[in-house]
Amino acid sequence: MQKAQVQLEFCLISDSVIHTPFRINETDSLTKFKFYISHIEIKGKNKYVSEKEHHLVDFHKNKHTSRVIKLNNVDPSDLLEIEFLLGIDSKTCNDGVGEGALDPIHGMYWTWQSGYINFKMEGVSKNSSAKKNRFQLHLGGFRKPYSSTQKVNLTLEKESSKIQLCFDVNKFISVIDFNNQHTIMSPSKESVRLAKIAQSCFYVN
């Protein structure tokens, strides 16, 4: 089959037009939600790799510039699974500050010692005991025992040049006790735990 361009679009389970704040339900909302996706591979008989190693997906920016990733010269009939990292790999973190998607201007870099924030979610929840019911979940860390980068593997069950990769916000939010865990701002055991939960919230639509 003739090779073509394949588009990966990241979306939310209840995605339409994203505004700030994005409403989860009547009492909870998101004011920031972004994460790094790295080392994308689509596999079948052949392997197709994204030209860019690191992508910053931001749900409060334009869909076409921050939530759509394009891969060229792909055979859409030869797609069985997609694999990527949620976060930034340890080698890249050890290299220090980067450019483009890795530029600290995006607000996703802690320090050379702590590395990048892999996953950032901020908002308001009625269950949060913090001031004004806010919560801030900055999940990152690349050094043991707090390495939070997660590998995501998803099966592709239909041939398509447009693949929707969705994140189930409700599933993620439902397992968090905002009364006791409303703020994470550094590498930690809890950061790793929530990163693993975030990994399980991706699916192909």
Tokens for 100, please give them: 């483009």
Q: For position 189, what pLDDT does the model report?
A: 95
Q: Which percentage of the chain shows pLDDT scores above 70?
A: 95
Question: In sequence order, what are the residues at sequence separation of 6 or more whose Cβ sits closer than 8 angstroms to the Cβ of residue 159?
Answer: 76, 77, 79
Tokens for 11, please give them: 């979306």
pLDDT higher than 90, residue 81: yes
pLDDT higher than 60, residue 43: yes
Of the segments 26-35, 68-77, 100-109, 162-171, which one has the largest average pLDDT value? 100-109
Q: What residues make up the domain containing 147? A: 4-204
Lowest mean pLDDT among 6-15, 31-40, 64-73, 84-93: 6-15
Q: For position 26, what pLDDT does the model report?
A: 78
Tokens for 94, please give them: 């050890």
Q: For position 17, what pLDDT does the model report?
A: 45
pLDDT tier, 15 (very low <50, low <70, confident <90, very high otherwise): very low
Q: For position 78, what pLDDT does the model report?
A: 87
pLDDT tier, 1 (very low <50, low <70, confident <90, very high otherwise): low
Q: For position 205, what pLDDT does the model report?
A: 86
Please answer whether residues 203 and 166 qualify as being in contact, where contact means their C-beta atoms are separated by less than 8 angstroms: yes
Which amino acid is present at 132? K
Tokens for 150, please give them: 């997660």
Tally of structural domains, the chain = 1
Q: What is the pLDDT of residues 84-134, one digit of tens each?
A: 999 999 999 999 999 999 999 999 999 988 999 999 999 999 999 999 999
Mean pLDDT of 11-30: 69
Q: For position 28, what pLDDT does the model report?
A: 86
Question: In sequence order, what are the residues at sequence separation of 6 or more whose Cβ sits closer than 8 angstroms to the Cβ of residue 17?
Answer: none
pLDDT higher than 90, residue 66: no
Residue of 61, 55, 57, 56 lying closest to 18 (CA atoms): 61
pLDDT higher than 90, residue 54: yes
